[in-house]
Amino acid sequence: MSYRFAFDIGGTFTDLVLLSSDGRVKTAKVLTGSPDVVAPICTGLIQMLKEHGIDMGEINEVVVGATTAVTNLVIEKKGAKTGIITTAGFRDVIEIARELRYDLYDLTTLGPDPIVPRALRFEINERVDASGAVVKAASDAEIESVIRQLLKEGVRAIAVCFLHSFTNPVHEDRVRAIANNIAPELYVSLSYQVLGEIREYERTVATALNACVMPMVGNYLSAIENGLSNIGLNATLQIMQSNGGVISREIGERMPIRMLESGPAAGALGAAHSAREANTPDVMAFDMGGTTAKACLVTHGKPSITTEFEAARQQRFKKGSGLPVRLPTVDLIEIGAGGGSIAHIDTTGLLKVGPHSAGSSPGPACYGLGGTRPTVTDAALLLGYLDPQGTLSGAVKLQPELAARAIEEHIAKPLGMTVIEAANGIHRIVCEHMAVAAKIHAVENGRDIRRYTLLAFGGAGPIHAREVARRSGCREILVPANAGVFSAFGLLVAPMKMDMVRTRYARLDEMNWDSIEVLLKSMELALQTEMASAGVSADQIVFRRSADMRYVGQGFEVETELPALIEKSQQNNIEYHFEQAYEIRFGTKLIGQRVEAVNWRVQATSAVPSSVSHRPIEKNSGIVATPSRERQSFFPDINAFVKTPVLKVDVLKKGDIHIGPALVEQPGSTVVIGPGDRFALDEHDNIRISLAAKSGSNA
């Protein structure tokens, strides 16, 4: 027997999973330790090995991890002091941005942070034209002078972003060579490697963000790998990217911006895997943890991918208020608060939930770790969804009297209501906000959420799934096995994946097809070399080609699948696929319009380990599903407490249909099932729930 190990470092909890070579799963959940992220991983792993009698030597040499480290550095503006070197005349691109106001009616609104102050942005007299021809060569003396000025200012990293460098990177490469010679300790981020496409603002933002987090991320990943080595696990660390694939630690250190949505992407990959396995290809993945809740559309078994992601928004739910990161990212939307989000009364006297979170320290009031503010978890405990005598994943002992005190003091008394009314208000508000955001996300992607199954996971996801589903219009809920640590499981079903983009503008009816084929082949070779450095052989790699295309005269593009070979005879087929993608996105297509391609993309993917895809199905135990106990639980649609059976998931017999209400306890999460809802355990250990017809109310 051998095991694969994965961990997901979240804002509140660190989730750990061991997957055996025959497909069996062992899990653990520990409080995230800040600033020491290594200790919880090591403590949780040792605890799991001891509990299940597993030897450290049985764990495979590759360990996969996900982390919020890059996101936190960007949001909290704690990156290294960074300078920018750019083409003469383009110093202020990162501050001018798109000259758009994301809130049209707010004249005081502030735009996204320019990341690097003007005093640390320097120009070089160089120029490469759109075809890649050198118009003005960069002077070595000028480059050296600028680098020395930045060193004098105390920068630890520089972002190099020259005009048209994605067509000819000779000048960016020269800056790096000179910087390595002058100051080998200086971190250098080149724009053509980070984001090799047009639009100077977006490319500069991505390059600057990559540069400013490089020093911290390198030390962070090394600390994790060394920490595991110190407890006897001599493993090679791989890291989840935002695009739903893993990369080696070395690539992660060079391109940390690719890890911006590391943890949430892992959950989306796990959701897609479970959706395909359960023969339910269209799901809305709903991930609610301790800090935030996120959603992702999985259509035909594949999570949506976008290049329109924004980091560090000034206002969480307003597009344009953040920093654009045009790297391929699993299309996740932050739809609400997490279990640790704090409820409060705003200046107008209205009850609000979030955005501030109690995190893991001090945590919700009911943790008894020093938190005194009421949170979503405190409300769930008082409404009967969590065991008042139990622990939260074995990590903390729940204390309902502390939850009641916090809600009474900060919510119930000021609003003149009972503690239960206040707790119900917190629960309903957070569920309503998540349902509305999920519906909007589906509409923006041209989808009808009512046709989707809500796949709920995360520590708090299964608790809130029923209310979110009935308020958004979903009729079915799927809760996967090990939902509480599902993002960590997603790491083990993720392939190694890398992608590359290059801009070559051309109208299809005027295109030099041979030159485009040469370009795509060169990109495939470059990705193959990168994958080989991470131990992936050429015969294990599958390439996917696509292009960002648009009708002539439009300003933005739609990604379109391409055939394996680009040639003139494929033109009509490529145009057809573009029109199909355009119609799916916008509901219509234009007739008789010429089509042009702007960016060309290649994605390289390795195979997923076979043990994950062929998980054995255990035979029914024959045990009759009898409740271990009962407790009073509150259901908003009937506005009353109901005596509710509490079942351990392992007593459910596969295929047997049950009628709610019920609370089904999994390791790390509790599934709330309402009166009249039908539920059953399927052959893959997922809990399938069909909402009762009366649950269509939005009470």
Predicted local confidence at residue 112, as pLDDT: 84
Mind giving me the DSSP string for 556-606? S-EEEE--SS--GGGHHHHHHHHHHHHHHHHS---SS--EEEEEEEEEEEE
pLDDT surpassing 70 at residue 553: yes
Distance separating alpha carbons of residues 284 and 268, to the nearest angstrom: 9
Mind giving me the DSSP string for 221-277? HHHHHHHHHHTT---EEEEE-TTS-EEEHHHHHH-GGGGTTHHHHHHHHHHHHHHHH
pLDDT surpassing 90 at residue 586: no
Q: Which of 146-160, 321-335, 650-664 has the highest mean pLDDT?
A: 146-160
Low-confidence winner among 240-249, 288-297, 573-582 (lowest mean pLDDT): 288-297
Closest CA to 291 of 431, 459, 468: 459
Chain segment 208-265, per-residue pLDDT in tens? 999 999 999 988 999 999 999 999 998 889 999 999 999 999 999 999 999 998 888 9
The CA–CA distances, whole Å, from 422 to 44, 339, 403, 446 equal: 36, 16, 12, 37
The pTM of this model reads 0.87
Q: What 3-state DSSP class applies to 297? A: strand
CB 463 within 8 A of CB 380: yes
For 213, residues 6+ apart whose C-beta sits below 8 A from its C-beta are 70, 73, 74, 79, 80, 256, 257
Q: What 3-state DSSP class applies to 417? A: coil
Mind giving me the DSSP string for 52-91? HT--GGGEEEEEEEEESHHHHHHHTT-PPPEEEEEETT-T
In the structure, what pLDDT confidence band is assigned to residue 317 with cuts at 50, 70 and 90? low
Low-confidence winner among 74-78, 354-358, 583-587, 599-603 (lowest mean pLDDT): 354-358
Residues 623, 624, 630, 636: what is their CA dihedral angle, to the nearest 10 degrees? 110
Distance separating alpha carbons of residues 109 and 318, to the nearest angstrom: 12
Question: Residue range 127-140: average pLDDT?
Answer: 95
Distance separating alpha carbons of residues 248 and 237, to the nearest angstrom: 7
CB 487 within 8 A of CB 267: yes
In whole numbers, what is the pLDDT of the chain averaged over residues?
90
CB 647 within 8 A of CB 630: no
Closest CA to 499 of 545, 540, 535, 536: 545
pLDDT surpassing 80 at residue 542: yes
Question: What would the two tokens of residue 222 be?
Answer: 């090394």
Predicted local confidence at residue 465, as pLDDT: 96
For 49, residues 6+ apart whose C-beta sits below 8 A from its C-beta are 55, 56
Strand partners, 604: 498, 543
Distance separating alpha carbons of residues 43 and 49, to the nearest angstrom: 10
* Start-to-end Cα distance in the chain: 51
In degrees and rounded to multiples of 5, residue 473 shows phi and psi of: 105, 0
Residues 631, 632, 636, 638: what is their CA dihedral angle, to the nearest 10 degrees? 120
User: Tell me, what amino acid is at 105?
Assistant: Y
Predicted local confidence at residue 620, as pLDDT: 37
Determine the distance from the C-alpha atom of residue 530 to the mean position of all C-alpha atoms in its chain, rounded to a whole number. Answer: 23
Closest CA to 64 of 7, 2, 3: 7
For 693, residues 6+ apart whose C-beta sits below 8 A from its C-beta are 676
For 300, residues 6+ apart whose C-beta sits below 8 A from its C-beta are 281, 282
What domains, with CATH codes, occur in the chain?
78-217 (3.40.1360), 341-427 (no CATH), 497-607 (3.30.1490), 629-696 (no CATH)
User: Tell me, what amino acid is at 293?
Assistant: A
Distance separating alpha carbons of residues 106 and 84, to the nearest angstrom: 31
Distance separating alpha carbons of residues 280 and 274, to the nearest angstrom: 8
Q: What 3-state DSSP class applies to 294? A: strand
pLDDT surpassing 90 at residue 643: yes
Distance separating alpha carbons of residues 211 and 188, to the nearest angstrom: 7
Distance separating alpha carbons of residues 554 and 353, to the nearest angstrom: 40
